[in-house]
Structure 1
Amino acid sequence: MPKVAVDDIDLALLGALQADARAPIADLCKAARVSRGTVYARLAQLRDTGVIQSLTVSVDPYGVGLSLAAVMLLRASTEKFWQWSDFAAKFDEMPEVEFAADLAGEFDMIVVARFRDADHLRAFVENDLRRVSGIAGIRTFLVLNETPRRSWLLPHPKR
């Protein structure tokens, strides 16, 4: 995707929408200090260029029962050369995964995931991560405190 020029007006609109995705146009006009016509045009441009991918809800994970967060550092096996694309689709399919990334350094990948409790975490490691071909090692860290405390994940039905 080509790089899009985002200016101070766009940033003001994006900031206001991040705070409240349902903000009225009048509030967006105030935030960016521009007219309604400019707001409508800028929002259309931001959507058309893919800068705004969707308008979504930020959820307090604790409020929906996901009170246990974990950071997992993963190592890929050395049996072959693994590419990020070998793992990315699998992480996308795991509803517990809030964030996953390819790393350079001692570990190959990082996963941030949210769980109802320790049993849910154990089941995720045993039934999901350990079954992904190419993952040779998992180091798990439990999150004690975090800020900001928000998530785009919602709990899924118990297994």
Structure 2
Amino acid sequence: MTDMLLSPTDIKILQILQRDASISNVQLAEKVGMSPSPCLRRVKQLEASGIIRQTVALLDRRKAGLGVMATIQVRLQRHTEEGAEDFAKAMNDLPQIMSCWAMTGRQDFLLVALARDIESFGDFVTHKLLSMPNVRDVQSSLVLKEYKNQTAIPVGHLAGG
């Protein structure tokens, strides 16, 4: 998919939808200078190609009662493919984990977690993460203030003509 080239109109559609996917097709068509039917066809093609993976609503974590955000570095005891896969699968089952990445360097995984408060975060780390069989140790850092947290990815480099 990295070799995919898109028209300038496709790029504009993607940029607009990443800012507001709830925009009507008529409004989207107006913004990109198309009539609604061809615009909808373009969006459907972008979905079929997989470049549009899904459409979601983004929630405000604080208004949802999740005041604590933290990054967590995890080191495993056994560095096997099976051990890493088992850990990653376990992370998918934990609602507190927003992101999970396998990493190079000192840590094996980097997690982003949410919790109601410091106490519930501490309980999560102590009773969930540290009790997992292959977890060697964890280091967490609390987010003090968000300066940038965006979901839109750059797409200008996909322009083909």
Q: Which range, TM-score by smaller chain?
A: 0.7 to 0.9
User: Secondary structure in 1 aligned to 2:105?
Assistant: coil
Q: CA deviation at 1:97?
A: 0.8
TM-score, length-scaled by structure 2: 0.81
Q: Is the 8 A contact 1:61 1:149 kept in 2?
A: no
Q: Which residue of 2 aligns with 1:81?
A: 80
Whole-Å separation in 2 of the counterparts to 1:90 and 1:31: 43
Aligned length: 150
Q: Which residue of 1 aligns with 2:41?
A: 41
More divergent stretch after superposition (34-43 vs 69-78): 34-43
Runs of 4+ in 1 over 6 A off after TM superposition: none
Q: Which residue of 2 aligns with 1:143?
A: 143
Deviation string 1:13-43 (CA, Å, 9 cap, x unpaired) is 2222222221011221133333323311111
Gapped runs of 5+ residues in structure 1? 152-159
Q: Which residue of 1 aligns with 2:158?
A: none
Q: Write the mapping of 1:52-71 to structure 2, written as runs, cut at 5 A.
A: 52-71=52-71
Q: Counterpart of 1:40 in structure 2: which amino acid?
A: L
Q: Does 1:107 align with 2:107?
A: yes
Q: Is the 8 A contact 1:71 1:113 kept in 2?
A: yes
If asked which structure has higher relative contact order (CA below 8 Å, sep 6+), I would say: 2
Q: CA deviation at 1:149?
A: 5.1
Q: CA deviation at 1:150?
A: 7.0
TM-score, length-scaled by structure 1: 0.82
Q: Which residue of 2 aligns with 1:156?
A: none
Q: Summarize the Cα distance change of 1:47–1:87 in structure 2 as closer, same or farther, 3 Å threshold.
A: same
Whole-Å separation in 1 of the counterparts to 2:111 and 2:63: 22
Gapped runs of 5+ residues in structure 2? 152-161
User: Secondary structure in 2 aligned to 1:122?
Assistant: helix
Q: Which residue of 2 aligns with 1:131?
A: 131
Q: Summarize the Cα distance change of 1:2–1:12 in structure 2 as closer, same or farther, 3 Å threshold.
A: closer
Whole-Å separation in 2 of the counterparts to 1:116 and 1:18: 28
Q: Counterpart of 2:110 in structure 1: which amino acid?
A: I
Q: CA deviation at 1:130?
A: 1.6
